[in-house]
Every structure is written in C-alpha cells, then in structure tokens.
Amino acid sequence: MTQPDHSLLVKGYCMTLLGGLLWSVGGACGQVMFRSCGVTSNWLVPIRLFIGGLITLAVAAIAGNKPLEVLRHKEAWPSLLVFSLLGSALCQYSYYSSVQYANVAFATVISYCSPVVILLWTAIATRKKPRPYELCSVALVVLGAFTCVTHFDLTTLAVPVKGAVWGLISAVCFAFYTVSPRKLMQKYHVLTITGWGMTIGGVVMLLFFRPWHIQGVQFSGKLILLMTCVIILGTVLSFSLFQSGCSIVGSLVGSVLSSVEPIGSVIISVLFLNTTFSWLDLLGFFLILVTIPIMALGKAHEPVG
C-alpha cells in the first residue's frame, strides 16, 4: 500500500478552492447585471459560455494541448456532447435562472446540495457505503450553506415555483458537471474538455435563445466590464481551476471544497455592497471551512493500491 502524493493533493485543494472563490466573483458580477443592466439568464449564459469556451480552447492550444485532437476521435463525441449540454450549459443556465426567478440565497442553498447528489450517486454506482468523514463533511457543508443564506429563517425561501424548480435542476447538474467528465479528462487535457464543454454548450444556447434579439439590455462600459469579469474570472479561470483540482482530489472532495463560494460572495458583498456580518454568518463560515481539513485528512490517510 502507498499513500497519496501529499504535495499533489495540496495543489488540488488550492486549485479547487480558488475555482470556487472565482465563481463567487462571477456570481456577484452577474447579480449586478441582473439588477442594473437589464440582463437576463437567456442573454448572459449563452454569451458567457461561448466566449469563455473559445478563450479556454485558445489557451489550451497555446499551451500545446492540441484541443482539436478530441474531435478526431468519434468515440469521445457522445460523452463530450452530454457533458457540454448537461454539465456546462444546463448547469449554468439553471443556476442563473434560479437567481433570476427567486433570489441568490435560495439558488446558492439548493446548488450546494450537489455533494449530497454526488454521494448518493457514488454509493449506488459503487455499492459501497460512504466513509464517515464524507458523510460528516457533506452534512456540514449543506448545513453551513443553509445557515449563511437563510439564518434559519425559512420564510426567506418563499420563492416562485420556477425559482425552486430551476434551483433543484442546478444542484443535479452541478453534481453531473463535477462527475461526468472524469474519464474524458483522463485521456484529454482538462482545458481541452472544459473549453469544448463551454463552447459547444454556448453554441447550442446561442442558437436556441438568440440573445442578439433580446430587448432591454442596457449596453454601457459598466456592462462590458462586468461581462469581462464574468467571462475571464468567473468562467475561464474558475471552470479550469475547478476541473483541474477535481481531477486530483476527486469529485466529492472537489464539490465540498468549492463550497467556499458562499463565503467569497458574502465577503464581496461586505466590501463592495456594505453588507454586515452576523453571528449566524460566522457560524455558517465555520461549518463550511471545517470540512476542508476533515476532507483533506480523510483523503490523505486513505491507502491506494
């Protein structure tokens, strides 16, 4: 029996955490656009995915990863197409639609149920019982996210049916996004799969929603700046770092570590939107952050063949 490479695990933890934090930046910018720029998810998500995907593929090509190689292997097409439509496109669209129809708090709570979805799927697929530290971490992260965004006041989750439905779809799709590309990424580079996932998903959504026909969008320097942050920080870097980290630490660990997004979102709100913390916010932060050493220690002490 050998132990995992601890330095590689640390690198995986850092990449996954940073991906989650950058998602919070993209989410904050998206919320501002929804509130003040006349933007909807039908306009934002297709453009975000398509441009972000092209940039990611360009970076992959510059790095010498040969992104066109995957297209030459027809056996990879079905998996890549499913990942693009369900993992990239629907995952992003359902989250932003939940924000649009309900609110950020509800969308965040529901989307961070994804570790539970992954845990259940893994248990069914492998017919193995979850390890105690995995169960503990999943429970803590769900409770922590719930605490941060609701303060145990269930009336804040009184949302329209559309918001609730899109939120549940978001949780399932985020779990799928985390798990589904593992085999592809064992054969092709992370940037290649991530880039094609966003590009293909973006093309399909562009053709379906035709954002160039959507009325009411208030074009300005502010909108361009926010879109740039969403695409570069909240899409290209966040997706790539998250998938790279997950390829090292695993899907369940990655989904748990990415839950630093609510913390990043609250910190951004405090720094730029004059929001104040409460003791329940701090409790939620603790519940989420404590899962990091739990998962890290548990993973590090797992023997591998």
pLDDT tens for 65-106 read: 888 888 888 888 999 999 999 888 999 899 888 877 776 666
User: Within 10 Å of residue 32's Cβ, how many Cβ atoms?
Assistant: 18
Please calculate the CA angle 241-247-249 and round it to the nearest 5 degrees: 95
For residue 12, what pLDDT is reported?
86
**Element (DSSP H or E) covering residue 237:** none
pTM of the predicted model as reported, rounded to 2 decimal places: 0.78
For residue 16, what pLDDT is reported?
86
Residues of the chain with pLDDT under 50: 1-2, 158, 305
The answer to whether 47 touches 227, Cβ cutoff 8 Å, is yes
Largest separation between any pair of C-alpha atoms in the chain = 61
For residue 90, what pLDDT is reported?
93
User: How do the domains of the chain map onto residue ranges?
Assistant: 6-300
Q: Which of 256, 230, 266, 284 is nearest to 17 (CA)?
A: 256
For residue 300, what pLDDT is reported?
64
For residue 255, what pLDDT is reported?
65
Q: Which of 63, 62, 60 is nearest to 71 (CA)?
A: 60
Q: How far is CA 158 from the centre of its chain?
A: 24
The answer to whether 16 touches 190, Cβ cutoff 8 Å, is no
For residue 1, what pLDDT is reported?
42
User: Within 10 Å of residue 84's Cβ, how many Cβ atoms?
Assistant: 24
**Element (DSSP H or E) covering residue 135:** helix 132-150
For residue 277, what pLDDT is reported?
62
The answer to whether 167 touches 106, Cβ cutoff 8 Å, is yes
